[in-house]
A = this chain, B = another copy of it.
Amino acid sequence: MQQNGINNCLDGFIEHCKKHRLKITPQRCAIYREMIKLRHHPTIEEIFQAVSRELTNISYDTVNRTVGMFARIGLIDVVKAQSGPRRFDTDPRLHHHFYCLNCGTIIDFDFEDYDNLSLPEDMKKNHSILSKRVVLNGLCKNCREKKSPSSPPGDLNI
């Protein structure tokens, strides 16, 4: 995934499903198609809204299970936020993340220096590594200027 942009088309998606012995259903195709259009870390709810416009009778539950499945086979990334529903990273391009510890905002950024990091030998030997990313934590511009970081995190403003 993620390291190449080829999977953007439905062909690549179908390929990926077959490899994992998942049946090609209209629901799965629609979910995949709508999902990759939504950048900015959509929630299940947001994906459900988008897919509903295509398949009016699809259930929230199917979207939930299917998106979870897509994450499990490495088609997309789970971005677990500090609070609220989990969000998904549907951007297949390689990129990196900054998390604000105070408000929970997640900011995508590009940085070439991070793109070609080599993998540790022992990790490569023992596991199958499908993607890599650098994650920074800190305080975002807004939160840095506030006096006390002790207020609970609000909704994500992504």
Main secondary structure of the interface of A (DSSP, over half): mixed
Tally of A interface residues using CB under 8 Å: 53
Point out residues on A near B: beta carbons under 8 Å. 20-22, 68-69, 71-74, 77-82, 86, 98, 100-102, 107, 109, 111, 113-114, 117-120, 122-123, 126-141, 144, 148-150, 152-153
Q: Which of A111, A120, A144 is packed against the most chain B CB atoms within 10 Å? A: A120
* Alpha-carbon distance between A148 and B72 when the two chains are bound, in angstroms: 11
Q: Could you say which residues of chain B place their CB within 8 Å of the CB of A82?
A: 71, 78, 80
Are B79's CB and A80's CB within 8 A? yes
Asked whether A120 and B111 contact (CB < 8 A) given A72-B153, A133-B135, the answer is yes
Are B71's CB and A148's CB within 8 A? no
Q: Could you say which residues of chain B place their CB within 8 Å of the CB of A139?
A: 127-128, 130
